[in-house]
Structures are given as structure tokens and as C-alpha cells.
């Protein structure tokens, strides 16, 4: 329990530091990175409170940690994992300042929200969240957060005419449907900070597939760890 407390606390502190350094007005809340960090912070703080409550009274364990809370934490952990993977594999390599600069600019704020917090949140999930019961439908739930995010971006861009860096139609280059590739095109020679050269619709489908795969892997890993711990007991 002590290790879990420190991992959760460190994840939240790194996230808050990074977001405070990066905050630049209301547009800050249109980026999935920040939304996923806020969501994981909320659930980690809640679990921190529950950890303290259980530490003070071991008999309340079953009452304070419900199945519903575990599922929510599972969904938010997958969301922060996508933040980690997308930045590592897509955004950092296509950054104009270069891979390492993209992480360590602005006092390493980006490194905190894109790497430290996600990694700690993932560790926390696998080390301490192996007890809850899971089913395949929970994997489908994992797509809820990104689909809501895409819908919100489309509303902001088309209804409220919001634009992001250098007039982009979306906060990120891989879903910027205003670039040369549009929704369904392929312009692989145009990869830069505003586009990955692949239609936004394809990228959204790929990311949803990644969400589902991550969901399955996380549940598999959780179940393996649960069985391993039970055998030792």
C-alpha cells in the first residue's frame, strides 16, 4: 500500500507540474494530453484518499473500492497510455524542434505529462489493480473517451470555428483533416508537424483499434498478475 501511495502521488505531482507549466488559456483544455492527465489525476487522487482510508481502517477495504471505480480507473489508464504512445511514436518524431526537444522544452513539462505520469499510472494499474473482475465489454468501454474527444474537436472546429497551431482543423497533426490528406487521402510525402500524410478517418480508426488492443492486453496482464498472486498465497 505504501508503494502504491507514492506511485500515485508522484504521478499526480508530475502531471500537475507539467500542466501548470504548459497552461496557456482555455485552449489548453482542447488537447487530449491535458484531458487524459486531468482524468487520471482525478481518479488517482480519489484512490489516494481511499488508500488512506483503508490504511486507517483495514475493515473498510471492500466498501470503499467498488467495481465501478476500478472500471473507470481502467478506462482512464488506457487513455493516458494512448497519450504516452501517440506522443512517443507520432508527435515527438514529427516535432519541428526534434524528438528530445519536444519532451524537454519548457522545463521538461512535456516529459512529465507525456512520459512520467503515464508510466507511473500504468505501473500503478498493473501492480495494484489486479483484483477487480473484468469482461470483454469493458474493452469496448475504452473507446468511449476518444470518441467523445473526436466529437468535441469536430464541434469546436465546425460550429465554433476554432483553429489550432497555424490554422489546423484539429489539435494534433494525425487527425488534422484540413491537411492535404483530408479525411480519406494518402499524402505520405507531406509528413510534418501539421500532418502525418494519412487521412484523419484512417488515423481515428487505427487509434480506436489501438485502444481496443490495449484494453485487451491490460485485462490479460491484470488477470495473469491476479492468478500469480493467488498462487503465491
Whether 13 contacts 126, CB under 8 Å: no
Return all residues near 102 (Cβ < 8 A) that are at least 6 apart. 87, 91, 92, 95, 110
Whether 15 contacts 118, CB under 8 Å: no
pLDDT of residue 122: 95
Name the grid cell of 212.
481496443
**What separation, in Å, do the N-terminal and C-terminal C-alpha atoms of the chain show?**
17
Whether 173 contacts 191, CB under 8 Å: no
User: What is d(CA 169, CA 183) in angstroms, rounded to the nearest whole number?
Assistant: 11
pLDDT of residue 63: 55
pLDDT of residue 59: 59
Q: Cα 183 to chain center, whole Å?
A: 24
CA dihedral (35, 91, 214, 66) in degrees, to 10, reads -20
Along the 233 residues of the chain, how does pLDDT read in single tens digits? 688 889 999 999 999 999 999 999 999 999 999 999 999 999 999 999 988 887 777 655 555 567 788 888 999 999 999 999 999 998 888 887 888 889 998 899 999 999 999 999 999 998 888 677 666 677 788 788 899 999 999 999 999 999 998 899 999 999 999 999 999 999 988 888 888 899 999 999 998 998 889 888 888 888 787 777 767 65
Name the grid cell of 79.
487513455
Asked whether the CA dihedral 81, 146, 6, 47 is positive or negative, the reply is negative
pLDDT of residue 232: 66
**pTM recorded for the entire structure:** 0.89
Q: Which of 78, 196, 89 is nearest to 138 (CA)?
A: 78
Amino acid at each position: 500500500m505504501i508503494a502504491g501511495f507514492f506511485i500515485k502521488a508522484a504521478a499526480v505531482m508530475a502531471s500537475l507540474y507539467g500542466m501548470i507549466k504548459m497552461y496557456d488559456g482555455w485552449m489548453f483544455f482542447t488537447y487530449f494530453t491535458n484531458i487524459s492527465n486531468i482524468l487520471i489525476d482525478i481518479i488517482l487522487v480519489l484512490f489516494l484518499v481511499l488508500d488512506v482510508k483503508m490504511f486507517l481502517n483495514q475493515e473498510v477495504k471492500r466498501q470503499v473500492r467498488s467495481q465501478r471505480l476500478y472500471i473507470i480507473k481502467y478506462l482512464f489508464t488506457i487513455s493516458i497510455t494512448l497519450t504516452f504512445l501517440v506522443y512517443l511514436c507520432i508527435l515527438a518524431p514529427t516535432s519541428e524542434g526534434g524528438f528530445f526537444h519536444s519532451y524537454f522544452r519548457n522545463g521538461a513539462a512535456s516529459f512529465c505529462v507525456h512520459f512520467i505520469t503515464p508510466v507511473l499510472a500504468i505501473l500503478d494499474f498493473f501492480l495494484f489493480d489486479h483484483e477487480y473482475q473484468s469482461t470483454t465489454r469493458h474493452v469496448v468501454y475504452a473507446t468511449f473517451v476518444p470518441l467523445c474527444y473526436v466529437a468535441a474537436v469536430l464541434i469546436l472546429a465546425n460550429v465554433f470555428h476554432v483553429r489550432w497551431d497555424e490554422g489546423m482543423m484539429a489539435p494534433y497533426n494525425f487527425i488534422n483533416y484540413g491537411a492535404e490528406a483530408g479525411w480519406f487521402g494518402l499524402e505520405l510525402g507531406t509528413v510534418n508537424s501539421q500532418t502525418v500524410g494519412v487521412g484523419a478517418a484512417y488515423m481515428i480508426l487505427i487509434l480506436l483499434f489501438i485502444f481496443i488492443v490495449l484494453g485487451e492486453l491490460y485485462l490479460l496482464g491484470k488477470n495473469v498478475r491476479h492468478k500469480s498472486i493467488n498462487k503465491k498465497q
